[in-house]
Chains A and B, each alone.
Chain A
Amino acid sequence: MKKQRFRIYFSKTEQMRFTSHLDLVLTWERTFRRAGLPLSYSEGFSPRPVMNMAAPLPLGFTSTGEIGDFWLSDVLSLSEFHPDLKKSLPPGLLIQETEEIEDIFGPKLPTLVTAASYLIILDAKPPDLPEKIENLLNSASVIRDRKGKTYDLRPLIQELNCDISSPSKLQMTLSALPGATGRPDEILAALELPATGTNICRTEIVLDTNGE
């Protein structure tokens, strides 16, 4: 029985960089069980805990901007919920904020996502990076090939800038709508930057919460 809905804003740090989306869900389930907090479970032959991540994070990325919704089978106050959960977290997960979502059966998190921001620490220090970015942003379209399909990367870029102090950083906000999701590694490729040795961090998932 879903009796309460909490939204957790969290970081997935270095130690869990290589934990897949499915294993992250399992890690959350175990964190709740350690904390003794009653997650709501689905009905049926193989009951699963009811939770929802805003958007899966690619393997190898870190994040300071993850969002997940969790349904409980009991009603708790935020002040009971938050500290118990915090002390049961594994290394690699940090909770920034927790809020209760009044509308228990309201729209699911993934349907609210519109964009995501990323911060990339670059291994190399390309001197002509600002010009390359300018060229990219000035192009009417940036046709790229991914898994045998061509698509236009340009309209997916909402924001893109860099900081060429040491180490060089790249900051971007990319559209994240069904069928129109920008990937930060594609931006790297378009800028002819190597993907290896770079550290990609998702800093924010932008939600459209008008509907909520």
Chain B
Amino acid sequence: MTNTKILSTLEKILPTVQLPGRYTGGEFNQVTKSWESVDIHLALIFPEIYDLGMSNLGLMILYDLINQQPEYSAERAFLPWTDMEDAMRKESLPLYSLETKHPLSSFDILAFSLPYESLYTNLLNSLDLAGLPIYSSERTNDHPLVIAGGHAVFNPEPVSPFIDAFVIGEGEEVIIEILDTYQSSQDQDHSRQQLLENLSQVEGVYIPSFYQPHYQADGIFSHLEKLNQKAPDTIRKRIVGTLPPPPTKLIVPYIDTVHNRAPLEIMRGCTRGCRFCHAGIVTRPVRERSQEDILKAMEVLIPDTGYSEIGLLSLSSSDYTGIVELIQAINDKFLDQNIAISLPSLRIDSVSVDLMDALAGKRRGGFTLAPEAASERLRRIINKPISDQQLLDTAREIYQRGWHTIKLYFMIGHPSETMEDVQAIADLSRKVLSEGKNIIGNRAQVHISLGTFVPKPQTPFQWVGASSPVEIKEKLDLLQKEIRGRGLKLNWNDPEETQFEAWLSRGDRRMADVIYRAWKMGAKFDAWNEHFNYQRWLDAFSQAGIEPDFYTTRERGIDEAFPWDHIQSGVKKSVLLQDYKWSKEEKIRPDCRGDCYACGILPTYNDLRHQNPGPLWLCPEVIR
């Protein structure tokens, strides 16, 4: 289908669907290059609806960088909601790019962002809506090259039969190298096979078809056999030495989106070492953006976008060096402009309360604290050592400063968790509430959000057996009974949806068959409650002849090889294992910004650290 035909078909179907503004593009700051003027066309795809996808900062960073290159262009595509999908399928309208309305099949490269696992069926659906074969092995040089990156691909195996090349780690530099390699391969008329071989030489690129996994008789992964001798044995994640200037000419949606604000990344990585945290490991080392660069970016962001809210993004805002001074400087500069600043992930201490106090103005919504576990014992196990007293002192401070609602975030299903630990969630929440009642009486509120722990690959808990839905259900029942009454509110996740996330996150290549079968049976938008169907996934497992519990509740042996061992985050497996053992002894691993414990990042990125000396890296200096 040509882009003119796509436009005329859209004209017909858009008035018939919900929120047609999702499908039109043409927003302020959109970059549209004429199709003929560029050599390589790349489509950045977030396989979810526009409303969510437009909040994906990674996509915006790459969009900005690629479009700065005159010979390359990046356009966007998102997945249509089901009503639009039905209309598109009825009219044989393929998935198209928002900028020039070209069908995705006419692009050179399709680049998928996969930050989390529940997007996998959407990935398949996107390929299908684009009119492409789902399996990489069935695609040829006549099809676009399909690549994928994002946090989820630190275990790429469950989706590896569908993807031609994975990009491990930060995309800023490697995406341009991939485009250059693609172009030179094309100039030399290389075959698809040859192109993949060329790409395998780019650091951080993983070509799954060059490797064959093998399994033991008991079904446990044994090793990866290399089918192409030029391919590397292990794939080391890419990182940038210094955070490049943040994009400021952000596309401003015409319609309301999930985070309708300007994101500004202030720091990448985290030194805390919470043992359940995937992002904390895979985004190391910590690199900060200087206060000067942040202020400079903010001054441009406002006239460039017109946003009234700026989100200062990092994994742990309180840990940004000089956060108090930064917020002070921001307030001095922008307080009068009706600009709101949001600061996620604050530590449980009085400094955080001061920070929020400075930012909140007159509007005091909920103040979020994430103790993650309610007993001090469990918090030592997960390496988030906060005392109950510290939490209660902080809560008191929050109520005193004018907030009425504290949101507490806990997880259930932590390793070694007992019913007493679960009961402690209710007890601690009530103690927080009574702090509030002492100060503001019955206006005090505590909202408790319960997540369920999912063991993630590349973390100290990658060996842990996950709780079964039955166990989780029992814990939920207890809390639903215990957390009641005036001032208390409880939110929780469906245990079956958590189980689904657990299957996929530590899956191996055999899981691809399950994903394919589930999608064939209609699975899509699995992150949406109304679309998720647990039984369908169980059916897909049984059709594929795979035991679901094998991937979740089974505790993995400490000498077990993992299907993702060849993907290297820079943190050594031996360090993760030591941390796992320490967790069993309730031994704390202190924040590494004080003392380096040699996690592996520095030897891995020694050169990069050497080229980027100074305080913006939180790792020690390399002396040579």
Contacts A27-B254, A31-B306, A196-B12 given; indicate if A15 touches B26 (C-beta within 8 A): yes
Pair A92/B26 contact, Cβ less than 8 Å: yes
> Quick one: which of B575-604 are within 8 Å of A by CB?
none
Which of chain A's residues 1-30 have a Cβ closer than 8 Å to chain B?
15-20, 22-23, 26-27, 29-30
Q: Are A33 and B20 in touch, CB under 8 angstroms? A: no
The interface-forming segment of B174-182, B297-305, B376-384 is: B297-305
Tell me how far the C-beta of B4 lies from the nearest C-beta in chain A, rounded to whole angstroms: 15
Q: Is the CB of B15 within 8 A of A196?
A: yes
Interface pair A18/B306, CB less than 8 Å apart: no
A33 and B302 in contact, given A90-B27, A92-B26 (Cβ under 8 angstroms): yes
Which residues on B sit within 8 Å (CB–CB) of A60?
14-15, 20
A197 part of interface (Cβ distance < 8 Å): yes
CB distance from B50 to the nearest CB of A (A): 11
B305 and A90 contact, CB distance less than 8 A:
no
Q: Does A32 contact B (CB under 8 A)?
A: yes
Task: Pick from B19, B308, B363: contact of A29, CB below 8 A.
Answer: B308
Question: Which of chain B's residues have a CB closer than 8 A to the CB of A33?
Answer: 302-303, 306-308, 337
Quick one: which of A20, A29, A92 contacts B306, CB cutoff 8 A?
A: A29
B12–A91 CB distance below 8 A: no
Q: Chain A residue with minimal CB distance to B19?
A: A18
Contact A20 B255 (CB under 8 A): yes
Question: Contact at A34–B21, with CB atoms within 8 Å?
Answer: no
In the complex, the chain B residue whose C-beta lies closest to that of A60 is B15
Chain A residue nearest in CB terms to B30: A91
A121 to B412, CA, bound (A): 60
List the B side residues contacting A126 at CB < 8 Å. none
In the assembled complex, which residues on chain A have CB atoms less than 8 Å from the CB atom of B304? 34
In chain B, positions 304-351 with a C-beta closer than 8 Å to chain A are 304-308, 337-338
Min CB–CB distance B200 → chain A (angstroms):
41
Q: Contact between A16 and B254 (Cβ–Cβ < 8 Å)?
A: yes
Residues of the B chain whose Cβ atoms lie less than 8 Å from the Cβ of A45: 362-363
Residues of B within 8 Å of A19, CB to CB, are: 21, 254-255
The bracket for how many chain B residues form the interface is 20 to 34
Whole-angstrom distance between the Cβ of B385 and the nearest chain A Cβ: 37
Contacts of A196 in B (CB 8 A): 12, 15-16
Contact (A15, B252) CB under 8 Å given A30-B306, A34-B303, A196-B16: no
The answer to whether the Cβ of B256 comes within 8 Å of any Cβ in the partner chain is yes
Task: Indicate which residue in A27, A90, A197 contacts B12 across the interface (CB closer than 8 Å).
Answer: A197
Instruction: A20 to B338: give the CA distance in the assembly, Å.
Output: 23
Chain A residue nearest to B28 (CB atoms) is: A90
B256 touching A23, Cβ below 8 Å = yes
CA distance A23 to B22 in the complex (A): 13
Known: A15-B26, A23-B256, A27-B254. A88 touches B306 (CB 8 A): yes
B residues less than 8 Å from A22 (CB atoms)? 256
Q: Which of B20, B254, B362 contacts A90 (CB 8 A)?
A: B254
Residue of A nearest to B302 (CB): A33
Give chain B residues whose Cβ lies under 8 Å from the Cβ of A29.
306, 308
Alpha-carbon distance between A34 and B299 when the two chains are bound, in angstroms: 11
Q: Which residues of A contact B308 (CB under 8 A)?
A: 29-30, 33
Contact between B26 and A91, CB atoms less than 8 A apart? yes
Considering the chains assembled together, what is the distance between the CA atoms of A205 and B306 in angstroms? 28
Contact with A along B450-474 (1 / 0, CB 8 A): 0000000000000000000000000
Q: Within 8 Å of chain B (Cβ to Cβ): is A36? A: yes
Say yes or no for A81: interface residue by CB 8 A criterion.
Answer: no
CA distance A17 to B25 in the complex (A): 11
Chain B residues near A26 (CB, 8 Å)? 256, 260
Chain A 40-62 per-residue mask, 1 if CB under 8 angstroms from chain B, else 0: 01001111010000000001100
Check if A23 sits within 8 Å of B255, measured CB to CB: yes
A190, chain B: closest CB distance, angstroms: 19
Q: How far is the CB of A30 from chain B (nearest CB, A)?
A: 3
Cα distance A194–B563 when bound, in Å? 58
Residues A30 and B252 in contact, CB atoms below 8 Å apart: yes
Q: Contact between A46 and B20 (Cβ–Cβ < 8 Å)? A: no
B106 within 8 A of A: no
A107 to B28: give the CA distance in the assembly, Å: 33
Contact between chains at A30 and B307 (CB < 8 Å): yes
Shortest beta-carbon distance, B18 to chain A, in Å?
10
CA distance A31 to B302 in the complex (A): 10
Minimum CB–CB distance from B288 to chain A (whole Å) comes to: 28
For B363, what are the chain A residues with a Cβ–Cβ distance below 8 Å?
45-46
| B305 contacts A30, C-beta separation under 8 Å | yes
The reply on B24 being an interface residue by CB < 8 A is: yes
Contacts A33-B308, A45-B363 known; A18 to B24 CB distance under 8 Å?
yes
Distance, CA A18 to CA B10, complexed state (A): 12
Q: Which of A18, A34, A36 contacts B20 (CB 8 A)?
A: A18
- One digit per residue, 1 when the CB lies within 8 angstroms of any chain A CB and 0 when it does not, for chain B 24-47 equals 101110100000000000000000
Task: Enumerate chain B interface residues (CB-CB to A < 8 A).
Answer: 11-12, 14-16, 19-21, 24, 26-28, 30, 252, 254-256, 260, 302-308, 337-338, 362-363
**What 3 pairs across the A-B complex have the smallest Cβ distances?**
A30-B306, A90-B28, A18-B21
27 pairs across A/B with beta carbons < 8 Å?
Answer: A15-B24, A17-B24, A18-B14, A18-B254, A20-B21, A23-B256, A29-B308, A30-B28, A30-B305, A30-B308, A32-B306, A33-B303, A33-B306, A33-B308, A34-B304, A34-B305, A34-B306, A41-B338, A44-B362, A60-B20, A88-B306, A90-B27, A90-B28, A90-B252, A91-B27, A197-B11, A197-B12
Chain A positions near chain B (C-beta within 8 angstroms): 15-20, 22-23, 26-27, 29-36, 41, 44-47, 49, 59-60, 88, 90-92, 196-197
Known: A23-B255, A49-B338, A91-B26. 10 other contacts (CB 8 A): A15-B254, A18-B14, A18-B254, A20-B255, A23-B256, A26-B256, A32-B306, A46-B363, A47-B338, A59-B20
